[in-house]
């Protein structure tokens, strides 16, 4: 028996649940399908289990895409305040950390429960686990073959996410579907991911694993991005918020540019110390860097950390300050999909409507959330894109349904 609905949403993650709930509550018959037995696993683990559900400072500048202007309309149509209002309706407490990041007081499960209640309120039918085996346009509707039988729908919404964290069930289904319908796909790559280095190259720094310090980091070419945040040394390379941010812009073979200290300020301080301090070079530099990093850097620079600072030549001080302000290591790669928080790249936005998320090639086919070539910065921006793109899509579904005659059949 063929099931007939107004919309099928494929993917029960953040964007899929949001879209299904809105569309269902506005009168559409919605079927939500996911191949995994559990919903929204990325929400569950996000923010250390607290769900960094949005960022108050969200603007289009916080997103990376081959088409940077694409996200503007959706973000304007559904703001962080709109999602906060939804949380308040469900009596979910939240708090702000630094840099506009908002987290749940009671844990990520409350957001998942809220989205499921929104779907229930809209009469959304969920099939899980259920594989979608085929999708094809058929006489003005979309015909689907699934593990639970055939479905006909006026619209199909692809909210299948990206390739990051495959252990949670990530797949390339959305990209494969897009290519099948002749959509271009910007090559997916791991983003918000730790960067790794050749073992021999990294050997001098491996002992610094666990050490963290605030840095200024540049990465990328076009576009190039600069972030000031914490960097974390690991056994294999670099992590921490600053590096995760930079990783979205970095390409294999490119140098990072890391400012561990301000050159002029450090040079001035060390020259002053040379005239008045009895400290060793190691102890003096440790006033401005973590001690282990200071010791390692001096050793690599060929300076004995036990040398009194007063004996260091001015030109050595200048070189030391300059090198610390322009550390340019070349990663050999990233920690890959297993450690990536999101996927950069995705369905090319030039073939989607920025107002509705609908395909320009296949009427009735929509792409939302992470599967699209829109990648947010660290700190709640990717969830805001999920909510905003889902809301834009749902509004379009409702608008088109209100103009159509009768239901698919």
User: Phi, psi at residue 290, to the nearest 5°?
Assistant: -55, 140
pLDDT in tens, 275-284: 999 999 999 9
- Which tens digit of pLDDT belongs to each residue from 228-239? 999 999 999 999
User: What's the pLDDT tens digit per position in 201-227?
Assistant: 999 999 999 999 999 999 987 778 999
Beta-strand relationship, 195-196 and 333-334:
antiparallel
What is the spatial distance between Cα 251 and Cα 309, in angstroms, rounded to a whole number?
Answer: 39
pTM more than 0.85? yes
In degrees rounded to 5, what are phi and psi of residue 371? -65, -20
Closest CA relative to residue 63, chosen from 225, 250, 219, 228: 225
Return the sign of the alpha-carbon dihedral for residues 157, 158, 161, 162.
negative
74 Cβ contact list (under 8 Å, min separation 6):
354, 355, 357, 385, 388, 389, 391, 392
Place of tokens 């919903």: 39
Let me know: does 159 contact 19? Beta carbons within 8 Å: yes
Closest to 174 (Cα-Cα) out of 367, 377, 384: 367
What angle, 0 to 180 degrees and rounded to 10, lies between the N-to-C axes of helices 314-325 and 263-276? 150
pLDDT in tens, 72-97: 999 999 999 999 999 999 999 999 99
Report whether 174 contacts 347 (CB < 8 A).
yes
Tokens of residue 241, six digits: 């918020």
The candidate with the shortest Cα–Cα distance to 86, out of 392, 380, 399, 387, is: 387
Q: What's the pLDDT score for residue 222?
A: 75
- Sorting pLDDT into bands at 50, 70 and 90, what band is 408? very low
pLDDT of residue 402: 87
Structural domains for the chain: 3-190+340-403 (3.50.50.60), 194-260+328-334 (2.40.30.10), 263-325 (1.10.8.260)
Query: Could you tell me where the beta strands, DSSP code E, fall in 180-303?
Result: 185-191, 195-196, 212-219, 225-233, 237-239, 257-259
CA distance linking residue 403 with residue 156, whole number of Å: 17
Task: Pick 370 or 406 by higher pLDDT.
Answer: 370
d(CA 195, CA 234): 9
| 130: three-class secondary structure by DSSP | coil
């Amino acid at each position: 028996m063929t099931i007939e609905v107004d919309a099928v949403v494929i993917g029960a993650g953040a964007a899929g649940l949001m879209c299904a709930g809105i569309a269902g509550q506005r009168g559409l018959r919605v079927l939500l399908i996911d191949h995994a037995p559990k919903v929204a696993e990325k929400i569950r683990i996000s923010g250390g289990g607290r769900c960094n559900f949005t960022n108050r400072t969200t603007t289009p500048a916080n997103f990376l895409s081959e088409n940077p202007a694409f996200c503007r309309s959706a973000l304007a149509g559904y703001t962080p305040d709109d999602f906060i209002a939804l949380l308040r309706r469900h009596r979910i407490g939240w708090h702000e950390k630094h840099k506009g990041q908002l987290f749940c007081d009671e844990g990520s499960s409350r957001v998942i429960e809220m989205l499921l209640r929104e779907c229930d309120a809209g009469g959304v039918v969920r099939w899980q686990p259920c594989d979608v085996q085929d999708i094809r346009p058929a006489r003005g509707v979309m015909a689907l073959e699934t593990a639970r039988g055939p479905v006909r729908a006026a619209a199909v919404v692809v909210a299948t996410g990206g390739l990051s964290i495959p252990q949670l069930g990530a797949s390339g289904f959305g990209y494969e579907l897009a290519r099948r319908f002749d959509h271009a796909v910007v090559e997916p790559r791991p983003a918000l991911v730790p960067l790794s280095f050749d073992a021999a190259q990294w050997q001098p720094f491996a002992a610094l694993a666990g050490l963290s310090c605030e840095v200024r980091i540049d990465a990328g070419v076009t576009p190039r991005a600069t972030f000031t945040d914490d960097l974390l040394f690991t056994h294999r390379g670099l992590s921490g918020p600053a590096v995760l941010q930079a990783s979205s812009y970095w390409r294999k073979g490119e140098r990072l540019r890391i400012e561990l200290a301000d050159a002029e300020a450090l040079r001035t301080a060390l020259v002053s110390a040379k005239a008045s301090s009895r400290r060793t070079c190691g102890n003096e530099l440790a006033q401005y860097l973590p001690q282990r990093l200071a010791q390692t850097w001096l050793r690599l620079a060929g300076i004995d950390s036990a040398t009194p600072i007063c004996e260091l030549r001015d030109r050595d001080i200048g070189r030391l300050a300059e090198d610390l302000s322009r550390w340019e290591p070349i990663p050999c790669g990233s920690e890959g999909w297993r450690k990536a928080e999101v996927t950069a790249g995705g369905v090319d936005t030039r073939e989607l409507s920025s107002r509705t998320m609908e395909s320009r090639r296949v009427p009735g086919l929509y792409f939302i959330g992470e599967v699209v070539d829109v990648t947010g910065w660290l700190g709640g921006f990717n969830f805001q894109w999920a909510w905003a793109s889902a809301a834009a899509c749902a509004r379009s579904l409702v608008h088109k349904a209100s103009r159509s005659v009768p239901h698919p059949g």
